[in-house]
Amino acid sequence: MEIKGYLMPGNTLNAAVIVKLEPDFSEGNVSYNADGTLNRAETKSILGPHSAVASSAAFYAKVRYGARIAVTTMGPPIADVALQQAQVLCDADELHLYSDRMFAGADTLATAEVLRNGIAKVEGGQLDLVFSGHRASDGETGQTGPQTAWKLGFTFLGNVIDYDIDVPNRMVRAKRLISLQGFYDVIEEVEAPLPVFIAIDPSYKASFNTVSQRLAFEKYQKEGKVRAQDYKRYLKVFNAQQLGADPKLVGLPGSPTIVYKVERIPKAKASRKAEVIDGSSREELRKAAAKMYEILGGMVIK
């Protein structure tokens, strides 16, 4: 009997999810300071939408492969609500909060440094998978993921919309949504050995298509809700010292970039250029063929 997921003997995978507490941008209940920066005190914070997608991608690993999951975040003590909300989504076994005044003012590189130190604490560093969102909604540049991956020395897979794992051979097979020549819906299929760092595309949606997966899904989903009600039991808080973080590499001192202002961006103009080829002559048709060749030739699809 082939039964995958929670009936599989022994847990073979360890996964971590990096999440972020973000201002709730829904319903327009965001408030700005007079200088145009975000008024964080007055804006309610929740688990960021991209973090939520990352959590559900990790949940897939739990349902399919019985992975153990740790959800991690760097932030102030109140960031534990993001961990709690993520736990509902992925039935996390552990919640890690990296919190220290020293981390304040960190840019992406300094954040990556904290996360690297933190993630090394998960399962004694025996990690197979790390998930992060595509990027944060509150003015982050999408660099934390790749930088953390680089610091960890994991293969980085960005814009992942689907993945599966060949557990015995420790290989990940992923589909990535990539943009080629301005065409946005090109799907690339890649393979990489574990461990990997997966940045999940916002369009990711897990699908479970066997009975056992659905049963496992139900079971873990219920478990996640129950666990999250009592989330403090799963919570571990680490300060800089406990993480063994190098003070020169975290917080403001470890940040080569400084965000001094976030502007509300005027609505962007469409940037796609259209070239009209009317097919009226052989020359025109040749142009069209050449263009198509150029585009198709660029898609390296496995």
Partner 1 sequence: MVEKYDVAVIGGGSAGLAALKQLSNLGKQAILIEAGKQLGSKNVSGGILYSKKPRQGKAHNVEDVYGSDFLSDLPVERKITKYMLHSTSRNKIFTMDLTAAHEYQANFGYTVLMSKLNAWFAKRAGESAEQQGGGIVSGVHVKSISWQDDGRAIIETDELEPFEVKAIIAADGVNSEVAEMTGARPKFTPEDLYQGVKVVVKLPEEIIEQRFGVGPGEGAAHLFAGDVTLNHIGGGFVYTNRDTLSVGAVYHYDSLMRLPAEPSQLVNALLKNPMVSEFIKDEVAVKEEIDRNLPKEEQLRARFAVSKLIKTWNELRDAYHSPDARKKLVEAGKYKSEDEIKARLDFVRNELTTKYRTKFVTDYVELEYSAKLVPDGKRCMMKKPYHKNILFIGDAAGRGVFIGPRIEGLNVGIDDAVRAANAAARAIDRGNFSPEYMGQYYGDLVNDSPYTRDMKEIDKDYLKIFLDATKDVPKDIIGQRYGMVFKLMSSGTLRGLAVGLANILGYDRLLPLVESEDTYVQVPIELAEKMGQPVSATYAPTIPTVSQRVAKLKYDDDRTSHIKVLEPRSEFMKKMVTLCPTNCYSLEGEDVTLQHEACIECGTCSKETEWRHPRGEKGIVFQYG
Q: Which residues contact partner 1 by CB under 8 A? A: 1-3, 7, 209-212, 214-215, 218-219
Q: Which is nearer to partner 1, 3 or 296 (CB)?
A: 3
Q: Which is nearer to partner 1, 191 or 218 (CB)?
A: 218
CB of residue 160 vs partner 1: minimum separation in angstroms?
23
Distance between CA 110 and CA 103 in Å, rounded?
8
Q: What does residue 134 show for φ and ψ, rounded to 5 degrees? A: -60, -50
185 burial (CB, 10 Å; 0-12 / 13-18 / 19+) is exposed
> Of the candidates 57, 124, 116, which has an alpha carbon nearest to the alpha carbon of residue 92?
57
CB of residue 5 vs partner 1: minimum separation in angstroms?
11
Distance between CA 17 and CA 14 in Å, rounded?
10
Distance between CA 99 and CA 78 in Å, rounded?
10
Q: Which is nearer to partner 1, 2 or 283 (CB)?
A: 2
CB of residue 205 vs partner 1: minimum separation in angstroms?
14
Could you say which DSSP state residue 38 is in? B
Q: Which residues pair with 187 in a beta bridge?
A: 177
Q: Please tell me whether residue 106 adopts helix, strand or coil conformation.
A: coil
Q: Which is nearer to partner 1, 8 or 190 (CB)?
A: 8
Distance between CA 172 and CA 130 in Å, rounded?
12
CB of residue 213 vs partner 1: minimum separation in angstroms?
8
CB of residue 71 vs partner 1: minimum separation in angstroms?
24
Residue type, 74: M
Q: Which is nearer to partner 1, 99 or 212 (CB)?
A: 212
Parallel/antiparallel/unpaired status of strands 155-166 and 171-180: antiparallel
CB of residue 129 vs partner 1: minimum separation in angstroms?
24
CB of residue 143 vs partner 1: minimum separation in angstroms?
38
Q: Which is nearer to partner 1, 6 or 156 (CB)?
A: 6
> Of the candidates 5, 58, 1, 68, which has an alpha carbon nearest to the alpha carbon of residue 209?
5
Q: Which is nearer to partner 1, 46 or 215 (CB)?
A: 215
